[in-house]
Amino acid sequence: MFETWEATKNVTGSCQKARVSRGLFYYWKARFEAKSYPGLEYYEKPNPKNPNAKEETIVQEVIEMKEAHPDWGKKRIAQEIAKANNWVPLVSHNTVKRILAEKGLWPKGQDGGEK
Residue-wise pLDDT tens digits, 12-46? 999 999 999 999 898 888 888 888 888 777 656 65
Residues 6 or more apart whose CB falls under 8 angstroms from that of 90 comprise 58, 81, 82
What are the pLDDT digits (tens) for 79-115? Answer: 999 999 889 888 999 999 999 999 999 987 765 544 4
Average pLDDT, the chain: 85
Spell out the domain ranges in the chain: 2-41, 56-102
Q: What is the pLDDT of residue 101?
A: 93
Q: Which phi and psi (to 5°) does residue 53 adopt?
A: -65, 140
Q: What is the pLDDT of residue 52?
A: 59
Residues 6 or more apart whose CB falls under 8 angstroms from that of 20 comprise 1
